[in-house]
Amino acid sequence: MPNLAASPVAPAKTTLKQSAVASGPAGLSIERRPLAACAAIEAEWRDLAGRAIEPNPFFEPDFALPAAQHLVDFRDAPVLLLWDGAAASRRLLGFVPARLRHRLLGHDELTGWSNPRLGIATPLIDAGEAERVIAALLHAPGRWGLANTQNLQLNRLDLDGPLLRNVLQIAERTGHAAALEPLPVPPASAGVPDLANLRHGLSRQGKLSFAESGSRQELRDMVELHLALEASGSLARAGAAALQDTRESAFLRAMTRNLARAHRCRIGLLSLDDKPVAGAILIGRGQRLWLYSGTQDERFSSFVPLAQLVAWLGRRSRRREIVGEAPGLHAVTVPQRLGDIRLTVTAAAARRAPLLSRRRAAAA
């Protein structure tokens, strides 16, 4: 169903228990629990999302909890929770979905996970505590009785975002080698389609109308129309339409309704004689929105109805930027500049780590 592209991280075996807590540097404690079990800390999780150095709706409860409930590959995905303070008054500073990769030789590696459904995989980290949180991720897993990790990989980060800048600055101070690998960007189109001319051609087939969901009831109704339109094309013939998968359709319905409560989801439809010919689900709030899913009636594909719909949705607000990687839509969406960052311990970093930990502990 989703049009978003990502590089999934293969599952890695781990010997850690379902829930484990360890002390980290500078007074932080690190708890590991499955994503589905994070429903118990939903209030603290939402509070962190509101003060994160970079917003990421895909790692907020409204998206992640329905995914954990309905989608098998999300249910037991491990999350590291970084807490500050005593149990009675602790504050969540980091929500980092990540797996521990064991190495026979050398240091283990903590790897942030991703999934094709995620437009971006930036972990939620308190804007004022990024250095402490990243330092804990680099060094604290060794407290679980394993080899000190000290290697960290985060996937699908915004190359222009503040978190990546912080990670690079911390790597420079700690002496870690930083390898940044930009992800491929769809090639630029030969030319922007003449949407006005194509829209005029489509209008000859019947009466055109554009709509964007306003109320939550409108969103529910438009989700069903979107699903039905998708199930009428080639995806359905291949057995890959969301309506053909009870888990996928249940997730999509729950996720869109949850996000709509916080005005983080909207749906657009382009109709011809009141029958949908294109649908788009957008996730996010403010200037940046992600095109989570797009579909169109293949009988009218020569008129690019989906591109016309996305362009119309983008013009609905002067500050609206629709990010997407759907094939053929890069002329009307903003391609994402994403990359993977890997911090590798060096001999100098290994020698400095205990000293830095002691200094941070003393400062705290």
Cα-atom radius of gyration of the chain, to the nearest Å? 22
The pTM assigned to this predicted structure is 0.86
Phi, psi dihedral angles at 316 (to 5 degrees): -65, -20
pLDDT digits (tens, 9 = 90+) for 163-201: 999 999 988 888 889 999 999 877 666 566 789 999 999
Given a contact cutoff of 8 angstroms between Cβ atoms, the answer to whether 271 and 212 are in contact is no
What domains are defined for the chain? 20-185+337-363 (3.40.630), 195-323 (3.40.630.30)
Q: In what order do the strands lie in the sheet with 321-323?
A: 208-212, 265-272, 275-285, 288-296, 321-323
Residue-level pLDDT at 88: 75
Residue-level pLDDT at 158: 95
Distance CA 230, CA 312 (A): 20
Q: In the structure encoding, which two tokens stand for residue 61, read together?
A: 């409860």
Kindly give the confidence (pLDDT) of every residue in the chain, 364 residues in length, as a single tens digit, with 9 standing for 90 and above: 454 422 333 333 333 344 555 555 557 899 999 999 999 999 999 999 999 999 999 999 999 999 999 999 998 899 999 999 877 789 999 999 998 876 666 667 889 988 989 999 999 999 999 999 998 888 755 444 444 557 899 999 999 999 999 999 988 888 889 999 999 877 666 566 789 999 999 999 999 999 999 999 999 999 999 999 999 999 999 999 999 999 999 999 999 999 999 999 999 999 999 999 999 999 998 889 999 999 999 999 999 999 999 999 999 887 789 998 777 787 889 888 999 999 998 765 555 554 444 444 444 4
Distance CA 340, CA 181 (A): 5
